[in-house]
Amino acid sequence: MMSPENQFPLFGVRLWTRRLPNKNRKFVLYLPAAASLHRGEREGNMAHPFVHVELTTTDIGKAKSFYQSLFHWELNDVEVGPGRTYTMIGVGDGTGGGMMQAPGPRMPSAWLPYVLVDDIRATTEKARSLGATVCLDIMEVMDMGSLSIISDPTGAMLGFWQPKAK
């Protein structure tokens, strides 16, 4: 049985522990907001939520087969240029994403999350002023919006996404 040990109300987080048969404790971090998403609820809006995750992979066929078998995701290929496709990931109500073949032979497979921003130029410049490296400057994506990609001061990659105004 799990029991609450600590609450951190500012973050909406509770720390839970579970006693294992050998009397050791295993700690589990419980996030109520994440749990409510599984129930189809939403308790307020995060200021800049994660809105897209993207897999760049060295073997797109293998990745598609793996994730479709593992999670039963709906995968749809979209032509994005001559001989180039982008696979859209449909997950229902959750945050969707995409997959693409790595553009270069030395680029490793990796997932990249994207955060929704109101002003991509201001956000990209603010990130730069705070010590981020801009890896991909602002780029328009068809008629859908704009993105940029940064590496934060610790080396972690993050994408920004601003949808096109309607």
Q: Are residues 20 and 70 in the same domain?
A: no
CATH code of the domain covering residue 99: 3.10.180.10
Residue 57: predicted pLDDT: 96
User: Which residue range(s) make up the domain with 67?
Assistant: 50-163
Q: Is residue 22 part of a domain?
A: yes
User: In this structure, are 159 and 94 located in the same domain?
Assistant: yes
Residues 64 and 116 in one domain: yes
With contact defined as beta carbons under 8 Å apart, do 100 and 54 qualify?
Answer: yes
- Three-state SS for the chain is CEEEEEEECCCCEEEEEEECCCCCEEEEEECHHHHHHHCCCCCCCCCCCEEEEEEEECCHHHHHHHHHHHHCCEEEEEEEECCEEEEEEECCCCCCEEEEECCCCCCCCEEEEEEECCCHHHHHHHHHHCCCEEEEEEEEECCCEEEEEEECCCCCEEEEEEECCC
Domain assignment of residue 45, yes or no:
no
Instruction: Give the number of domains in the chain.
Output: 2
pLDDT tens across 87-133, in order?
999 988 888 899 999 988 888 899 999 999 999 999 999 999 999 99
Is the same domain home to 59 and 6?
no
Write out pLDDT tens, residues 24-81: 444 333 334 333 333 344 445 678 899 999 999 999 999 999 999 999 999 999 988 8
Is residue 151 located within the same domain as residue 117?
Answer: yes
CA distance 66 to 99: 12
Percentage, residues of the chain above pLDDT 90: 55
Residue 1 has pLDDT above 90, yes or no: no
User: Does residue 6 have a pLDDT over 90?
Assistant: no
Please check whether residues 66 and 146 belong to one and the same domain. Answer: yes
Q: Is residue 95 part of a domain?
A: yes
Residues 66 and 33 both lie in one domain: no
Same domain (yes/no): 98, 137: yes
Determine the pLDDT at residue 111: 96
